[in-house]
Structure 1
């Protein structure tokens, strides 16, 4: 009876997993072994040819490197922004919840709408370039330069996510016993020393969560790139997601796109696993196990 009751209560999750995860995964595996273009009634089995083509494609390798560029730019940027917000809000005497909600609001905004606002702001006739031309006589092609395009997309996503991450970090800060700081102050520890030796190590569970979540976001960047740069300039922002979209819906090579998606999923899983191991080693060195 207890087993039946347990299966009954877990059945919604099991059904959800089967319909929205296992069946699409099986479909994707089958599709990756074909050359179907999503339009022709004929489906040809090509085996692992799509995977071989993906591994040998310079465009796919380039998109992998772009994704890792976003990883190494976005994650530190989001971590610094969210930690700064959490520390500032945690130091306030009152209305902490109100300020946290204010910083959280960008997370609720649509990525499409945010991208359109940023695109309008940074366009040739946008407010920023108009101001720079009128005051300093310069005009910057923000989204036409590979370096600035990467930075702008990364900063926009970091701005969007930092309020959400700050909620997690603020919860971690609130759980740190204030007596520890008082004892450190008595021993002559400066504010920076207390932050480095107490706050960061004690904040490990929240930092672990935020970093892993941010890494996951960096591997799934699509909307902002699609709206702002389309993967340009010169494929400088062409992420895995953009390449999968282009192959599936522009080139109509759904089998090839599915193979790329599966390879990207495996690489993402392995990358997150490595980062988690590094974070766990750091946590163990600070007394977390």
Structure 2
């Protein structure tokens, strides 16, 4: 009798501990566990390893791995190539972001009109997004050669085109344009979705009040789609700082170092010169730059993003 009473008491105690709230908490943890495991395995663990490697010098050819402390960071501060690399990275990123966002918004506004053939043009502009990056870049490499397709078309028009990929400023512009044409469709689709969510009543009321098309765009359209502008700007800025394949295929960082952006310089140091510790240090610098720019955009959102004031 006493044994059955004790067993019943333990059962009641377990039932009292296993409440609905605890069950909901466990289900929530189970749902986020795959994402958390993926983040730990593919984000935080690589970050920790990169930071560790930056404090060491790893020579694969000599099979040596030695602790050097802050030597790689001191080398970063005294590296004479870093200022030009950061300058090339800044110019490339600024040109890419401005051109990409401007063109994507312009295309989205045009394709948001009720005109025939807009579905075809949407597909046409978005299709490069799903094309293989390397294949896309190789094709453009042939087109931009001195005797390639672009200059052939210009000669028909009586214009002598430059050697696009072997002339400093033209090489940077060429890589920017190739990258913009590759990914502008993605931002265009995001802007188009945002434009279709703007209430039509606002435009009708503004039109009745005599507002011009530019005023309606500036006072209604831009504020209403500003959250999407923030999203696309963060994605585009982060992506512009990580462009590698286009540089490697089209210019190999040249002519000179005019297109040697930080990611490509990192690749050269780590995988061409086998300075893996210094390459990891450059990776840390890239991470800090991307993080700082992302946080800056996020902090500034209150000044211009609708509903964030």
Q: TM-score, normalised by structure 2?
A: 0.87
Q: Runs of at least 4 residues of structure 1 off by over 4 A? A: 93-98
Tell me which residue corresponds to 1:188.
Answer: 210
Equivalent pair of 2:301/2:308 in contact (CA under 8 Å): no
In 1: Cα distance, 2:193 partner to 2:187 partner: 10
Per-residue deviation, 1:122: 1.3
Per-residue deviation, 1:133: 4.4
Q: The residue matched to 1:43 in structure 2 has which SS?
A: strand
Q: The residue matched to 2:143 in structure 1 has which SS?
A: helix
Q: The residue matched to 1:279 in structure 2 has which SS?
A: helix
In 1: Cα distance, 2:84 partner to 2:206 partner: 49
Q: How well do the aligned residues superpose, as a CA RMSD in angstroms?
A: 1.8
Equivalent pair of 2:59/2:274 in contact (CA under 8 Å): yes
Q: TM-score, normalised by structure 1?
A: 0.93
Higher alpha-carbon deviation: 272-281 or 75-84: 272-281
Unpaired runs of 5+ residues, structure 2, are 1-22
Per-residue deviation, 1:225: 0.8
Aligned to 2:278, which of 235, 249, 256? 256
- Structure 1 segment 50-65 matched on structure 2, within 5 A: 50-65=72-87
Q: Does 1:160 align with 2:182?
A: yes
Q: Does 1:13 align with 2:17?
A: no
Per-residue deviation, 1:28: 1.2
Aligned to 1:149, which of 171, 181, 193? 171
Higher alpha-carbon deviation: 155-164 or 244-253: 155-164
In 2: Cα distance, 1:52 partner to 1:131 partner: 50
Q: The residue matched to 2:147 in structure 1 has which SS?
A: coil
Tell me which residue corresponds to 2:248.
Answer: 226
In 2: Cα distance, 1:93 partner to 1:48 partner: 61
Question: Per chain length, whose mean CA-contact separation is higher, i.e. which structure has more relative contact order (CA < 8 Å, sep 6+)?
Answer: 1
> For the pair shown, which has the larger CA radius of gyration, 1 or 2?
2
Aligned to 2:290, which of 264, 268, 271? 268
Aligned to 1:110, which of 132, 135, 142? 132
Per-residue deviation, 1:18: 1.8
Equivalent pair of 1:55/1:61 in contact (CA under 8 Å): no
Tell me which residue corresponds to 2:300.
Answer: 278
In 1: Cα distance, 2:60 partner to 2:43 partner: 20
Per-residue deviation, 1:260: 0.8
Per-residue deviation, 1:181: 0.8
